[in-house]
Chain A
C-alpha cells in the first residue's frame, strides 16, 4: 500500500492535546481536592500543614496523627473506590454495549449485600458497623467482607458459565446479570425477614457505603486490585474502541471479542467486589462518571479510561468530604450523596434516549 503522501495533521495534534490537557486538569483538581479534604473536618488542619506533612516535612505531632491515621487513609480510600468504580463502569459500558452498564449491572453489588447479610445471619458475623457510628459495633468484619466478596465472585462466575454456553454477547450477560440481581435481592429480603432487630440494623447498615471502614491494610488491598484492574483496562483501550465499532469490525481487526468481553467483565467484577466488600455499596459513580467524561472528551478509550479514573476519584473524594461536613458532627453515608447526585443524571440519560 502506498499511502506515502500523508503527514501528521496539526489539527489532530491540537485535538489530542486538548484531551491531554483535560486529563492533566482533572489530575490537578484531584490533588487540590485531596489536600482540602484532609484539611477539613472536626478539627481543621491548616492547608499549609497538610501539604508539608504529605511531603514529609510535618512538624506538629497532633496534625500528623490526624492526617496520617484518620484523614489520609479515608481520603485515599475514597479516591481508590471512585477510580476503580469509574474505570469498571467505563469498561462495562463498552463491553456490554450498553450506556446504562455499570459495575452493578451484573448483580455484583446485590450479591455482595446478600453475602454480608448471610454472614450476619448464618455465619454469626454478628453486628457490624463502622468507626463512625458508635451504636453499631463490629464483631467480625473480616468474615463479613469475605462473605460479601465470595458472593460477588459467585455472581461473576455464574455469568461466565452462562456466557460459555450461550456465547458472550451483551444480551446474554446483561439479562443474566439482571436475573442474578433479582435473585440475590430476594435472598437478602428472605434473610431480613427472619432477622432480629440488631441483625436487621447491621444488614441495612452494611449497604450504606462508607469510606471510613477501610484503614491502611484494607486500603492497600483495594488500591492494589484497583491499580491492576485500571492497568488491564488501559491496555485494552484499543480493543474497547474496536468493540464500540461493532463485534465484526473488532474481529476483523484481530480482537478476540468474546475473550476480551469475558475477561473485562471478570476484572470489572473483581475490582467492584473488592471495593464494595470493604466499603459497602457505593452506587452511581461507576455509571455516571464515564458518561460525564464522554461528554467532554468523547469515547476514545485511550483517553476516556484515564480521565474516568481521575474524575471518579475526584468525584467520590468530593462527595465523601461533603458527607463528612454537611451535617457535622454526623457523617452521612457517602452512597447517599453520590446517589442524590447520580439519580438525576441517570434519569436524564434515559430521557435522552440512552445514546452514547
Chain B
C-alpha cells in the first residue's frame, strides 16, 4: 500500500514538475538601454523550429514566429494594431481607412473594417472567411491577424494546408536592407505561397512555384510535384547561399524604427493626375522626422495613431504626446515636460489673431493638412485601395475605388476635420430596410452577357481582324467615337474623333476610316471576286468568333443577304426571303440597309453583331472611369429577380450614395438608403506649413458666402454612369446652419469698416475718460495745493 502511495505521489510530483517546465514563461530579450541596434547575424528556423540549411534543396522558408520569436515576444506583438483587427475585444479607435473589396466586373466596392467603423462592413458579415480575406487583401497585410489564426471557421474553399500561414513578416517593417521587396510579397500572396512570402520579400532566396496551382491533396511535406514540371510546380525556395556563413547564419539588416518607405508601401496617397514632381512632402518629413518618430510603439506594437482622443481610447496619457497638440502645445493634464510640448523640437504655434473657439471646433488637421479646399474635391488613389506601388510586368493599379478629399466633416470627437470619403457600391438583397450584399460570384453569374459589353465588341473586332489589303485595323464607330480592341482583349477609346454619324465596324488606317468591305453594287449580276473573297473571309472569321451567339453570321446590303453555305462558300439570297423583317428591332440597324450591315441569323430572325445595349454601354463607359450603365443595372436586377424561385426577394444596386431598385413596371427606381451612405476617415498628411494653413492669410478662406469649407459640394460617384447621385454640401455633412454661415460670411465684407467704427468709438470713450480723469486729477492737485496754502 505504501509503495502504491509513494509511486502515486511520485507521479503527481513528476507530472506537476513537467507541467511547470512547459508552462514556464519564456524569457524574451528586453531593451538593455543601449541605443545601438544589435547585429542580427542569426540562423533561420522554419515553421517546425528546425534550423534552415540553405544549401539543402528542399529547405523550408524561414518562419518569423520561430526565428524572430525566439528572442521577441511574437504572441504579444501579434496583438498590435496592425494585427489585432479581427479580435473581438480589439480597440476600435478612431476610424481609419477601411479595406475596400473591389470587383471591377460587377461594380462592387465595399468598405470593410474588422473594428466596426461607421458605414463599413465586418468581414464575417459579408461571408468573407479568413482565407478569402487574406487572399483579397493579403497584398497589403503585414501578415499575422487573419492570416495567422489557429482555428478559423469551416471554409471549404480554404487551402491553408497548401499555402501555410501568413505569419507576421517582421522584416516588412523592420528591414533596413535595400533588397526588401514588397512587390515580391504581393506576388507570393497572389500565388497562395503564404509561408514563402516573407522569405521571398526579404530577398533571402528565390521562391518559385505556385501553391494556387497545386491540387488540394498536396502538402508541403511531399516536396516537389514530380508529375508536373511545367504548370503545377510546388512552391520551393532556393536560398542565396552567399548570404549565409559556415554556421548557416545570415545577416538580417534590422531597423528597430521602421523606415518610411516601408510605411508608405501601404499608406501612400496621391492625387489623381499629379506627377511625382508636383508632390510636396509633409513638413515633418522635410524637417527630418520619420513616420515612426510620431507613430511609435513598444513591444506590444500598439502604434500611436496620433489623434487627439487616442489617449482616452487607450487609457494611456503618454500616447497624447504623439498627437499634433501634444507635440506642439503639450498634453493637458500631464505633468513635467510632457505638459510643455515642443517635443522633437516642435515649434509652439502662435495662432495670432485666431479666436480660441476654433480650437474647440476644429481639429489641427482642418487648417494644416490635406489639399486646399476648392470647389472641386480632389480625387485620390491610395496604396491599399488602388494597389499602388506594386511593380512588375503586370499592371496592378486600379482606377476605382473612387476616393475624394478633403471632405470637412465632424469626427467622433465632435471636431470638424478633413476626411477622405468613398461611397459603397454593391448588389444586395433587401431585407426590411436593410440591404445585404450579395457575393460578386453570384452577381457575375446573373450578369453573364450583360457586364462584359466591351469584351463582346472586342471579340468581334478581333475576329474581323483577318488582315487585308488596306493593312488597317477593325474598329467600332459609334456616337462619333472610335473604339479599338487592346492587348488585354478589352476596348480602348481612340483619341481621334470622327464626324461619322453611323454605327458600325470600319477599318481604321492612319486615322482615316475605310469601309470593312469596299463599296459594291448588290444589284449587279457579277460581284467583284476580290469583294466576294473578302466577304467570305469575314463571314468565316465571324463564324469562329469567341462567344458567338446561336446563329450564323450574315452580311446584308440593299435587298441582298450574304451568308456561308454548307461548303463554307458565300451564297447570296434575297433579304425578304431570308429574314423576317418585322422581327428586326435595333436602334442602330434598319433593314434593308443602304450600307453594309452585319449580324446573326437564326430561324429567319436577324440580330445585330452586338446587342444595342452593348453598343450603348460601350459608347457611354469605354474611356471613362464608369463600368456600366443604368440600362445594364436594370437588366441585372431583372436577371436576379427572375432567378429567385420564391419570387418574393427584392434586389438592389447601391451606388453613388443611392439605392437602385426595380419598380412595378420593371423600370429603375432611385431612392435613399442608409446602406448607400459613404465611409469616411480622417486624413492627417500631408501637413502644410503654418504659412499655408487655412485662414493664415484671411478669415474668408472659410468665412465667405461661397467658401468651399462650408459650401463645397460633395458629389458621390460609383462604377455606374448615372445622373442620380448623392450630392451634399459640406455644411449638411457637418450638421451646420447654412444661412448662419452665409450671413456670418457676409459680415466679413464689412468687418474692416466695423473695426474702424468701434475703434473710433473706443478712442472717443477713452478720450472722455482721460479728460475726466485729468479733471479729477486737477481737483485732487487743487485740493492738496489749497490745503498746503492754508
A binds B: no
Q: Show the binding face of A for B, using Cβ within 8 Å.
A: none
